[in-house]
Each structure stands twice: as C-alpha cells, then as structure tokens.
C-alpha cells in the first residue's frame, strides 16, 4: 500500500536552516515510520528555482540563473545527505521534466476555461513574489516591509474566484484536509471572503517556465512550484497503484494559503485528484532571553550535527515541539534535553542493561517471561505510540515511550539486581532473570519504536542487544512483548549517547555556525562580514533637535490579533494615555503571538504619519531591535512606568 508525502519545495535563496530542517526531518521520520508499518512510503523534496529573486541574485554574481541554481541545489542535497534524510525524489523546478508537467497542467486548466488573458497594473514585491493590491507607488510590502515596484503587465489569470464554493465543500466534506485546526480556521476565513483571480504569468522576467501561449509569458513561481509535487511521481505506480495523489503535504504555516487554497483549485481546474491532507507546522523561534550578538539569529543544522549528532537534533525537535504549534529553540535547551533523556535516559538504560547481562549471565538473554505489569504497560505504550504518530503527535508519542523507560528504571532500582546476583537460592535467581529480561525487553521494544526517530543510534543499540537483522526490517505492527529470544547473546557494548558539557559544546557550535555562514555567503556571492559584525553600521550623526522631533511614548498593549491574510502582521490597540487606544499594525507576528503581546509595555513612535496596511490605518510604530535578517525584539521596561510617558 502506497503512502506519498512531501516537504515544501524550498526556495533557492540560501542553504537549509533549522526551520527547513525541522520539516524535512519530520518528513523523513514519517517515511521511515510508515515503511516499518508496512507501507510503500515515498518522500519528495526539492528546490524552487525560478523567479525574479533568483534571476537577480545570479546576475549579481555574474552567473547564469541555471548555474546559480545548480550550485544551490547541490548544497541542499549535500545538507540533507549529511543529516541522513532518505528522500525518494529530489525535484528541481528548473528540470525539463518539471517544465513539461507545468505546461501540461496549464493547458488542461486553460482548456477547461479557467485561465484567461488580462492586464494588471500594481505594486509588486520581488522579495515575496506577490502583488500588493492595496499598495500605492512607494509603499512598502506589508509582509516584509521592503519597497514595492510598480508593474504593468499583460498576464494570464487563473479563475480562483470560480472555486470558492467547491473549496468550501471540500473543507466541509474532509474536516481533516487542513491540519491543525487553527490553520483550517484561517483558510476557511480567507476562502469565505472575496476570492480574487490570480495572475499566473509574467512578461517582465525571463527566468522561468515558458507558458504555452503566444508572447513571452513566463509561468508565475507559485503555479510552477506547487506542481513539483506532481512532477516527481506523475508516471510512478506501486503495485499498479498510482503514487499520486499525495497522502500529506508537510509545510510551514506561512505557506498554508498556497497549498490549501491555490493548489487544490489548480488540481480541480485540471480534473486531477487532490492531496488527502495539508499539515502545517509552526515556526521555530529563539527564546527571547537567549538571543545575543554572539549567538546570531539563525541556526544551521550542520554545526549541531558535528558536535552532538543529527539524532540529538531530531530528537530535540520532535520531543520539544508539539507538531503544528510554534516552538522555541536554544542550544542550551538542546543540550539539556539530550543529557536528560538520551544520555541519562535511553543511553543509561541500554548501558546498565547490557552490562548486567554481561556480568550476571555471561552476555546471554535469560529464559523468563518478564514482569507482567511492565509487559502490560509496554503493550499500552505501543498502541499509544502508533495512535499519536499516526496523527503527527510525535511529542506525545515520545512522552508515552519515555514513561515506559522511566518505569523500568524505577523497577530496576526496586529489584536491585546487583543484590539479587549475590543472593543464594532459586527465588533470587528467578527474580534476577525476570529483572534482566524485563529490562532487555523494554530496551528492545523501545529501540524498534525509535528506529524512525533515531536512525543513527537505534541500529547501534539493536546490534548491541544481539538482535538478528536490521532494526528497520522490524514490522512494527507485529511488535509485542516476549519476542526476545532466551539464550541470545548480546554484542559488543559501547556507549551510544555520551554526556555533553554545554560549556564546551555550545561555544563550539557557535564557532562552526560562523564557518557555515561564511560558506553560505561565499555560495551566494555575498561579502563576508568582519568577525563579530552582526549589526549594521551606525547611521549618520544627528543633532538633539533632530532627535526631539521623534515623539517616543510608553504604551500598554490592550488588544492584539493577527491581521487577516498576513503571517507577519499583528493588529494592536495600544494605550498611550489618550482618550482612545492607538491602532498600530506591527510586523512582529513571526516573533510574537497575540497572547505574548497582551498587556505588554512597549515603546511607540507616536507622531509618525498614519499609513494604511492591509486595509487598517496604523497610527504609530512599535520600536523593536534585530540583528540583520533576525526576528524583532520589542523594546520594553523592567520598572513601572505610566502609559503615555515620553522617552527622553
């Protein structure tokens, strides 16, 4: 039975950071897990290589766009290979096979009456690859804040407006089509509004897929990139069953609209099967109190792999964050969880179990049934693990498994096999054999369940237990208590999770991070910054009179909500001591949830000329700081200060 899943098709504007890695590691886990459940699982990932950003970046380096993309795509593949990601298809949107699929689907949609010619004049953000409908010349992009450009083009449009009712019917008929529920609600609100037709071609750029129409039309990047999921498996079957449609698209929440609205509409227009599920995970953010100049603002996976191993990163991300929610990352939290749960937890159980077997039974598994209470708990944990993993509840599944590991640790302490080994009599011998078997059997079951989670470490424990065959060959549905064979000899014992000293490991990861950044800058043709130069240079000097023109006031956030249609904007009401709270639209939603801003004391620029963003008039600006490319950190106060107080 086939199971097809995908990661996003990642944009070639850099190399993988921890956000890309999170999604891809989860996809790799799901592929491995499904295969151990008996599915013919297929995973597609790849690179999105078209668009004006790539064209300009290549030009800046004196390279052709294809050459530039070849370099970046190779880097993405290298990074995934280093992290042990097992993908079946790596799709590049510049590949001729993908071009043919996109043109084929374009023609199907056009033949069915859903693509038509038109003209559009408006502001366009080259950084976000989107038209900004409400912007005027000179206005910034509401998502990224960078300048928009005025564009007038003859375009071809997709009749998205024709699919409003069909999309709503889809969401009603398949309530789990969009997960988690918060993302489903966002999409419903968007589609229930005024769906506008999409411009899906460009004539102002050359780097892209030629549209099968007259003139120099290039297909828009989102119509292009989404179809890569189909390109990868268009002709593939497994046991006579077509691999398409996808069983799940795993994506970041910032691109939910493209996948849950545009993509099914494109497929409906072409009379093609729809994917079964869109699952959007949250963002990984630094904990605000962990941020510093020395640590920078973006985490790359390779320094972590080189210091503590890829499995440590995989485990942390899966255990720390509820998949679908936002989560925090810090090097210190990574090391703390690694030491507590892998080194002192699973690693310690493996070490003490194997050493006791070697010391007390000559390395042979004793003939025993094991403790019945723990055997019963193990059966419950196996079922719970499956239930959680089937619903992408990885952290909950691991929590259930670690509950079993903790229970057997307590059981070993209670039974004290080191005392039983010195005691005389048949009862002591039977107790010792039961204790050793119980510990070894829990270790076997845990190792099999963890094989998709810890693909480098689980095989090592499996081998040390003396288990025949590869752990990945275990059929998880057949896993049950009592399958550890009496008399089986264990292998050579070796530590799998050595403890890590954070005082040594964190500085080393930061040092390697700087090396990775320098290498990425080289690949992208950017000048390397001098050591420690994480902040922009100072602006030109001003006079005290210049500063006095800026009216900075203390404000208290009395309400906060996300701006509809934007993943980066918050709509705030801020009390600065006036008769009514100020309305302020702030581009901080990637770093702060609405709940995190509520009742927070902030600094606002109170005399800034109002401007309209996403239809909301913003009367002021929140003051925040960031290092280049990093998330904002909102300025605030430790001491009590009244709303409306002026900063001097």
Among the residue ranges 395-409, 567-581, 619-633, the one predicted with the least confidence is: 619-633
The residues, any chain, with a CB within 8 Å of residue 552's CB and separated by 6 or more, are 603, 604, 605, 606, 623, 646, 647
Write out pLDDT tens, residues 197-210. 998 998 878 899 99
Task: Tokens for 245, please give them.
Answer: 């449609």
pLDDT of residue 54: 86
Give pLDDT, residue 51: 84
The two structure tokens encoding residue 247: 């069983």
Peptide bond into 245 cis (omega under 30): yes
- Stretch (H or E) spanning 464: helix 458-464
3-state SS class at 368: coil
**pLDDT score at 296:** 44
Residues 6+ apart with CB under 8 A from 262: 160, 198, 222, 223, 226
* Average pLDDT value for residue range 459-477: 97
CB atoms within 10 A of CB 269: 24
Return the SS3 of 500: coil
More confident residue, 327 or 162: 162
On the CB side of 168, CA atoms within 13 Å amount to: 12
- pLDDT, tens digit, 9 for 90 and up, residues 543-568: 887 788 899 999 999 889 888 878 78
- Asked whether the beta carbons of 62 and 84 are under 8 A apart, the reply is no
Q: Is the pLDDT confidence value at 407 over 90?
A: yes
pLDDT given at position 295? 38
Measuring CA to CA, which residue among 342, 338, 367, 341 is closest to residue 441?
Answer: 367
pLDDT at 237: 96
∠ CA 335-341-343, nearest 5°, is 75
Q: Using an 8 Å Cβ cutoff, are 579 and 601 in contact?
A: no
78-87, 301-310, 579-588: the lowest-pLDDT one: 579-588
pTM comes to: 0.79
Q: How confident is the model at residue 648 (pLDDT cuts 50, 70, 90)?
A: confident
Q: Helix (H, G, I), strand (E, B), or coil: what is residue 243?
A: coil
Lowest average pLDDT, out of 167-176, 198-207, 632-641, goes to: 632-641
pLDDT value, residue 121: 77
User: How confident is the model at residue 301, as a pLDDT?
Assistant: 94
Tens of pLDDT along 378-400? Answer: 999 999 999 999 999 999 999 99
Residue 489's pLDDT is: 96
Least confident of 261-270, 495-504, 623-632: 623-632
Best CA proximity match to 241, nearest among 501, 40, 385: 40
Is the confidence at residue 111, as pLDDT, over 90? yes
What proportions of the chain, in percent to the nearest 5, are helix, strand and coil?
45, 20, 40
Could you tell me which residues are beta bridge partners of residue 621? 605
Q: pLDDT band for 638, please (50, 70, 90 cuts).
A: low
Decide: 213 and 220 in contact? Cβ < 8 Å. Answer: no
Cβ-contact 269, 598 below 8 angstroms: no
Inter-residue contact 353 to 439 (CB < 8 Å): yes
Q: Which tens digit of pLDDT belongs to each residue from 76-109?
A: 999 999 999 999 999 999 999 999 999 999 999 9
At residue 126, the 3 state secondary structure works out as: coil
249 vs 12, higher pLDDT: 249
Which structural domains are found in the chain, ordered by start?
Answer: 2-281 (3.40.50.620), 304-478 (1.10.730.10), 544-634 (2.40.50.140)
Q: Is 371 exposed, middle or buried (0-12, 13-18, 19+ CB in 10 A)?
A: buried
Is-contact 143 566, C-beta < 8 A?
yes
The predicted-structure confidence for 413-435, as pLDDT tens digits, reads as follows 999 999 999 998 889 999 999 99
Residues linked to residue 117 through DSSP beta bridges, in sequence order: 156
Output the pLDDT for position 129. 63
Whole-angstrom Cα distance, residue 352 to residue 357?
A: 9
Top-confidence range, 169-178, 319-328, 596-605: 169-178
Q: What percent of the chain has pLDDT over 90?
A: 68
Instruction: Give the Cβ contact number of residue 461 at 10 Å.
Output: 29
Q: Which of 329, 343, 246 is nearest to 291 (CA)?
A: 329
Residue with tokens 């081998």: 463
Percent of the chain with pLDDT over 70: 93
pLDDT value of residue 290: 33
Spatial contact of 397 and 388, defined as CB atoms under 8 Å apart: yes
Q: Residue for token digits 């229930």?
A: 192
Of residues 55 and 293, more confidence is placed in 55
| Distance (Å) of CA 285 to CA 190, 339, 570, 623 | 26, 22, 17, 20
Q: Give the residue among 327, 633, 630, 338 at the shortest CA–CA distance from 506.
A: 338
Mean residue pLDDT of the chain comes to 90
Tens of pLDDT, residues 493-543? 999 999 999 999 999 999 998 888 888 877 777 655 444 444 555 667 788
């Amino acid at each position: 039975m086939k199971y097809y899943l995908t990661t996003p098709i990642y944009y070639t504007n850099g190399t993988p950071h921890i956000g890309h890695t999170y999604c891809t590691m989860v996809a790799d886990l799901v592929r491995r897990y499904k295969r151990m459940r008996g599915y013919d699982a297929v995973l597609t990932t790849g690179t999105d290589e078209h668009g004006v950003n790539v064209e300009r970046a290549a030009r800046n380096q004196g390279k052709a766009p294809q050459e530039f993309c070849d370099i970046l795509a190779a880097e993405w593949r290298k990074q995934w290979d280093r992290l042990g990601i097992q993908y079946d298809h790596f799709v590049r949107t510049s590949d001729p096979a993908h071009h043919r699929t996109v043109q084929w689907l374009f023609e199907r949609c056009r033949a069915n009456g859903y693509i038509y010619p038109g003209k559009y004049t408006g502001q366009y953000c080259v950084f976000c690859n989107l038209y900004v409908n409400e912007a005027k010349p000179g206005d910034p992009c509401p998502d990224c804040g960078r300048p928009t450009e005025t564009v007038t083009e003859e375009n071809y449009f997709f009749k998205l407006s024709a699919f409003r009712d069909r999309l709503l019917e889809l969401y009603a008929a398949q309530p789990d089509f969009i997960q988690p529920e918060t993302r489903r609600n966002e999409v419903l609100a968007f589609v229930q509004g005024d769906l506008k037709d999409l411009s899906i071609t460009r004539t102002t750029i050359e780097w892209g897929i030629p549209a099968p129409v007259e003139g120099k039309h290039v297909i828009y990047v989102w119509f292009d990139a989404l179809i890569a999921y189909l390109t990868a498996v268009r002709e593939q079957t497994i046991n006579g069953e077509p691999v398409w449609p996808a069983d799940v698209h795993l994506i970041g929440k910032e691109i939910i609209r493209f996948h849950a609205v545009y993509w099914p509409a494109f497929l409906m227009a072409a009379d093609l099967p729809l994917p079964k599920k869109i699952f959007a995970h949250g963002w990984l953010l630094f904990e605000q109190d962990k941020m510093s100049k020395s640590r920078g603002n973006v985490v790359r996976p390779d320094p972590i792999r080189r210091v503590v191993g890829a499995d440590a990163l995989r485990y942390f991300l899966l255990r720390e964050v509820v998949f679908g929610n936002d989560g925090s990352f810090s090097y210190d939290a990574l090391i703390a969880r690694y030491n507590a749960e892998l080194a002192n937890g699973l690693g310690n159980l493996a070490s003490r179990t194997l050493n006791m077997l070697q010391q007390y039974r000559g390395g042979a598994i004793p003939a025993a049934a094991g403790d019945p209470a723990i055997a019963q708990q193990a059966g419950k944990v196996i079922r719970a693990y499956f239930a959680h993993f089937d619903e992408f509840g990885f952290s909950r599944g691991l929590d259930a498994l670690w509950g079993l590991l903790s229970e057997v640790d307590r059981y070993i302490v209670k039974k004290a096999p080191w005392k039983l080994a010195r005691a005389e009599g048949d009862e002591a011998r039977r107790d010792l054999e039961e204790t050793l078997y119980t510990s070894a059997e829990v270790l076997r079951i845990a190792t099999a369940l963890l094989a998709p989670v810890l693909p480098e470490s689980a095989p090592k424990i499996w081998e040390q237990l003396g288990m025949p065959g590869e752990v990945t060959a275990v059929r998880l549905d057949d896993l049950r208590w009592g399958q550890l064979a009496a008399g089986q000899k264990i292998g050579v014992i070796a530590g799998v999770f050595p403890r890590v000293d954070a005082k040594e490991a964190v500085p080393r990861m930061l040092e390697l991070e700087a090396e990775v950044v320098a290498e990425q800058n080289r690949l992208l043709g950017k000048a390397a910054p001098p050591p420690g130069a994480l902040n922009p240079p100072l602006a030109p000097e001003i006079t005290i009179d210049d500063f006095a023109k800026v009216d900075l006031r203390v404000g208290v956030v009395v309400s906060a909500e996300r701006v509809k249609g934007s993943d980066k904007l918050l709509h705030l009401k801020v009390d600065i001591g006036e008769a009514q709270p100020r309305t302020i639209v702030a581009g901080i939603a990637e770093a702060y949830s609405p709940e995190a801003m509520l009742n927070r004391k902030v600094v606002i620029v109170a005399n800034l000329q109002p401007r309209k963003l996403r239809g909301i008039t913003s009367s002021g600006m929140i003051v925040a700081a960031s290092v280049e490319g990093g998330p904002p950190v909102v300025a605030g106060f430790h001491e009590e200060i009244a709303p409306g107080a002026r900063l001097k």
